[in-house]
A and B are shown apart, each in its own frame.
Chain A
């Protein structure tokens, strides 16, 4: 029996702990400063908006930890002596380990803007950020959000739920245009405006201005314009939270460098989740992917390895999902924001301007490589199989109804989709499949291909 210490009780650390317990009776200790119990960071916004209470975003009840013999320590790891296998905590105590898993997550980026440390200026990542925002909220007459990513739009929605007017600064000409193709970007632009948000495209922050008391009172843009505000949300991305070990012998770049088994350069020390940077990422995937499910996969993978079933980290085909106010977004496979030379895409949008389907395919072979969906839910496994099997675009369109995952009685847009495709391609294709679960299951059973 070994002792395994995990620093960070986010999704990666907790998943690792759970799977170690599932596979073994090793001693497990979970160290985190932020909160006593694991909570879903992804749900912070819902607490602020009053959809849920703090306890509702904690997936496990208190008793769970005791029952599964996972020890919890709420403290900060200040430093680690890797040679002695010993962690120093900020409460003065130390923790020894046989194996160490680093799962310290991310922190909000600050790009050195003048005034970024004034009071009333803050990112949204930690529980404490939310508490801070809650304390400030009664005094906010207008808020400014800097950075147009996923957290930025969530923050905008949060302010909007409290009737706080928002100015949303996006550096690019379209919202999230580094990731989204232009049409989808524009759809979200419109949707943001529809919610009464003062969206400022092509706007860069130059300076944050404060008063004598050190509180923010306005921001200045590159254009020279000044916007009065009482709160500035910094949401220009996140980066690995590894400051406390950067000066140690562990190898880091932007994150902690790990191999395909998630091992660091130090024996018996692993890194997973947002803080880990893969030395050799799989083709088509990035070295740091700060998303929920990769953290979960890494946690499971590292647990297997530690419990003696060496497992290579393989995240499969990329997917992600988000929600922009009321529009759901899903992506499967490869969908570049600007089509490259070898790729082309077929795009269809509903006339209501809130739904669209984009299928990306390889030009010469016509094989499908990616899906981008707005306001429409597709079945994950089906899309994955099409991509894995390198299905041809025609075939995918014929079978498209297998992929619909929308709730019952939703409008089936496949007829319109096919019609547009017929017009564009001049081909005569007909739907061959229905949308029912049965057919989708048959399809999946028949083509059970693994990544």
Chain B
């Protein structure tokens, strides 16, 4: 047999081992859910390490002796990444996990006083970090952060020829690990209110809830700092950054939902629907959610300051809980992540996120950000459209040689990376941007 053949065989064998290793770690988590494993930091660490190691080994095997460059080979033949049975199975497992997490945490072992099962399995780590027992949200936070970390490593391997992808991925990993996970946990440990400093209203829909406002105002300087920072983010920081860099500064460099979509969701990005019909649904849905969230927030603020529980006969608390249930849990969690293998990685960002809607409006009308196209070199191959996780038909613009200014573009840069003819580039220009953009908008 040729050396070529041997290499492939070896690769297959190592990949098989990596799957075995990763799965054994995962099975430990499943076993813990059924109280089949003793609780202890050591065994928890073993389980998480096996999962991480398995995935990283797999990625290493997949990319190690492949020259740098885009390798999307077999994406549409692979059962996992093309809505085959593996894709459906993964979707069901993820969705199931989210349903338990949000509505039936007791099945994960979340207890009133003491935990059992999976949540108890994470108690030692939680104790270590913040001297408290774990909650289902802590379990979720650890797994979420781990997913971004490990799949981030895989992502970097895959796109290692692109510095933009490398830096952007390191950025989302950093913000998830430090700002979304470690800092809030330490704040709890220091008996301060939980706060994710990069999380912004309206994505963070409880920011203006009475209990949250109270919590911040009752916590002295640090609480006020949180409040002021939160408001500054909305009215100053975010618009200014979006003016200069487009919404990408948040959606694909900082945001946790975006972070998960970019890393763990990457194998599914091509599944987003590019049809005109989907675009229509998208616009109705996302702006409806935005309106809903604004109305709901106005309502809870009104109740907070007036002390009256309802306006014009509408109970603001129930408005709030409908939003929390439908949008905060069902849409962003269950569908948003659970449906990765079926609808692509940015279902939530594309169809539901009110934050994305606001940033999108700014991006479309006031931002310098656009994707420029290089002369008439587009060969209409469709790689850009296929790999756009936001379902934008990039090709439709590129083949006309137009700059691309779209509210939904998160600036991930993958369209530019996969284009075989170097047609696309992400840019923040200032000269004649309004003229250029106007041509596109009309």
Contacts and interface: CB of A to CB of B under 8 A. Distances in A.
A440 to B, nearest CB: 9
B72 interface: yes
Contacts of A191: 67
B345 interface: no
A50 B427 CA distance: 30
Contacts of B67: 191, 194-195, 325-326
Interface string A284-297: 00000000110011
B96 interface: no
Given A40-B379, A377-B374, A56 B425 contact: no
B73 A319 contact: no
Given A163-B8, A323-B421, A325-B69, A59 B382 contact: yes
Interface stretch (B20-28, B186-194, B261-269, B429-437): B429-437
A42 B426 contact: no
Interface stretch (A23-31, A112-120, A254-262, A379-387): A379-387
What's the interface size class on A, roughly? 35 or more
Nearest to B72: A51
Q: Among A56, A61, A319, A411, find the residue whose CB has the most chain B CB atoms closer than 10 A.
A: A56
Given A384-B375, A437-B429, A50 B75 contact: yes
Contact of B386 (A56, A326, A411): A56
Contacts of B113: none
Contacts of B78: 50
Given A377-B374, A377-B422, A407-B426, A59 B74 contact: no
Given A50-B74, A59-B395, A437 B431 contact: yes
A224 interface: no
Given A51-B75, A409-B167, A380 B383 contact: no
Given A51-B73, A323-B420, A293 B380 contact: no
A438 B76 contact: no
Contact of A52 (B167, B372, B376, B383): B383
A441 interface: yes
A326 B418 CA distance: 11
Interface residues of B, number: 53
B161 interface: yes
B382 A56 contact: yes
A451 interface: no
Given A49-B74, A377-B374, A441-B429, A56 B420 contact: no
Contact of B417 (A51, A297, A407): A407
Interface in B228-265: none
Nearest to B377: A321
Contacts, number: 138
Interface in B352-366: none
Contacts of A328: 420-422
B381 interface: yes
B162 interface: yes
Contact of B431 (A42, A195, A411, A441): A441
Given A46-B381, A61-B275, A407-B417, A437 B372 contact: yes
Nearest to B370: A437
Interface in B385-439: 385-386, 395-396, 399, 413, 416-417, 420-422, 425-432
A196 interface: yes
Nearest to B276: A61
Contacts of A437: 372, 427-429, 431
A438 B5 CA distance: 51
B376 A293 contact: yes
Q: Would you list the 4 A-B pairs with minimal beta carbon distance, nearest first?
A: A380-B375, A326-B69, A437-B429, A43-B381
6 contacts: A42-B380, A43-B383, A46-B381, A50-B78, A196-B4, A436-B429
Given A50-B73, A326-B67, 13 more contacts: A50-B74, A51-B73, A52-B386, A53-B76, A61-B275, A292-B379, A292-B380, A293-B376, A321-B377, A322-B421, A377-B425, A380-B376, A407-B426
Interface of B: 2, 4-5, 8, 67-70, 72-78, 161-164, 166-167, 270, 275-276, 372, 374-377, 379-383, 385-386, 395-396, 399, 413, 416-417, 420-422, 425-432
